[in-house]
Amino acid sequence: MTAVGRDVEYAAKLIADGGVVAFPTETVYGLGANALNPNAVAKIFALKERPSFDPLIVHVADFDSINMLTTSTDERILKLAKRFWPGPLTIVVPKSDIVPGIVTSDLETVGIRMPNHPIALELISKSGCVVAAPSANKFGRVSPTRAEHVLKQLPDVDYILDGGKTTVGIESTVVTLDEEGFIVLRHGAITHADLSEVLPPSSAKKQEKNLISPGLLKSHYSPNKPLFILGETNKTIDPTRAGYIAFGHVPQGNYKYVEFLSEKGDLIEAAAHLFEKLHAFEDSDVDYIVADPVPETGIGIAIMDRLRKAAYRYSNTAEL
């Protein structure tokens, strides 16, 4: 059984020695290993049952590590990093030779991020490594916002560093650059408007860039029970069998349980609770989950992206 604890020194040593450690960030828990050790990184893919075509983000604790990981001297990279790091932004840049192909799925680029979490930063610094880390869930399943969620899905990790509940609650915004400006590959807490304050947006679409990102997967973040978004499903819901994830209003109907993303309709609060509520209903005795849609502004774009991908595999479910 995996140990869960708060021993950062021990976790850092595990990473330095080629082990795999789950750790908290401000977004979701990550599953980390020394990014420059291909054998250690291979363990991440095995534990997650993640397909090798899906590249990992490399987590750093200082700005100097950027130079080690990229061949690019594009000053816009540092401009973004200085404005948004530490924070929920992953910047995809041309990779240097020291980054093993297993980290980047043999792409010529690497995603880099400095997480805004004291335990994550201490872990990375003390390990002396740059740390490759996807979200610490089985591939395609709901991302973890608590140590308990990691334990539920990944009982064979070497160690889980417990930092309590994460604050942002959904994964980082992933961005890349072309000659014109930035392209958002995955929506997150740092919005298009936030990025536009620093750089112009590119007119290119992410599909045109032919890049592999979860933004291109239709199904992801799925709970193990059917999920339906109200207003986006034609299923007839029996409320007495359903858990309801509500936003901004008290639902009518005799629902088995009601959980609020945000009672007052606050999108930032909603993002922080989204995966939390999905995990809670996964573990409860409801037969399925229904969710309110949220307004698609600001971080609401990222919330609806996660909800639609989570609901996708259930959209053809015949029986309820």
Q: Which residues bind ligand TXA (CB under 6 A)?
A: 25, 27-28, 30, 54-57, 88, 90, 92, 104, 107, 109-111, 113, 115, 133-135, 171-172, 174, 185, 211-214
The CB density around residue 6, as the number of other CB atoms within 10 Å, is 12
**CA nearest neighbour of 130 among 48, 46, 42, 64:** 64
14, interface contact from ligand TXA, Mg ion, none, CB < 5-8 Å by kind: none
Q: Using alpha carbons, list the distances in angstroms from residue 308 to 77, 186, 277, 301, 312.
A: 31, 14, 15, 11, 6
Q: Write down the least CB distance from residue 88 to ligand TXA, Å.
A: 6
The two three-digit tokens of residue 255, written as one number = 């629902």
Burial-class residue 73 by CB neighbours within 10 Å (0-12, 13-18, 19+): exposed
Tell me: does residue 25 bind Mg ion (CB under 5 A): no
**CA nearest neighbour of 50 among 31, 75, 29, 22:** 31
Q: Write down the least CB distance from residue 198 to ligand TXA, Å.
A: 19
Q: Considering beta carbons, is residue 179 or 319 the nearer one to ligand TXA? A: 179
Q: Write down the least CB distance from residue 268 to ligand TXA, Å.
A: 15
Tell me: does residue 135 bind Mg ion (CB under 5 A): yes
306, interface contact from Mg ion, ligand TXA, none, CB < 5-8 Å by kind: none
Q: Is 113 helix (H, G, I), strand (E, B) or coil?
A: strand
Contact 249, 264 (CB under 8 A): no
Q: Write down the least CB distance from residue 220 to ligand TXA, Å.
A: 9
**CA nearest neighbour of 294 among 263, 255, 319, 320:** 263
Q: Write down the least CB distance from residue 99 to Mg ion, Å.
A: 19
Q: Considering beta carbons, is residue 95 or 220 the nearer one to Mg ion? A: 220
Q: Write down the least CB distance from residue 139 to Mg ion, Å.
A: 8
- Dihedral sign (CA 226, 297, 302, 151): negative
Residue 288 backbone dihedrals phi, psi, to 5 degrees: -155, 170
Q: Look-up: residue for tokens 């335990």?
A: 119
Q: Which stretch binds Mg ion (CB under 5 A): 18-26, 132-140, 146-154, 299-307?
A: 132-140
144, interface contact from ligand TXA, Mg ion, none, CB < 5-8 Å by kind: none
Tell me: does residue 222 bind Mg ion (CB under 5 A): no
243 forms beta bridges with 257, 289
Q: Considering beta carbons, is residue 19 or 214 the nearer one to ligand TXA? A: 214
Q: Cβ-closest residue to Mg ion?
A: 135
Q: Considering beta carbons, is residue 36 or 44 the nearer one to Mg ion? A: 44
172, interface contact from ligand TXA, Mg ion, none, CB < 5-8 Å by kind: ligand TXA
212, interface contact from ligand TXA, Mg ion, none, CB < 5-8 Å by kind: ligand TXA
307: left (phi over 0), alpha (psi -120 to 50) or beta: alpha
Residues 6 or more apart whose Cβ sits within 8 Å of residue 216: 206, 207
Q: Considering beta carbons, is residue 7 or 108 the nearer one to ligand TXA? A: 108
Q: Which stretch binds Mg ion (CB under 5 A): 124-132, 135-143, 178-186, 264-272?
A: 135-143
Q: Considering beta carbons, is residue 186 or 290 the nearer one to ligand TXA? A: 186
Name the site residues for Mg ion (rule: CB under 5 A): 135
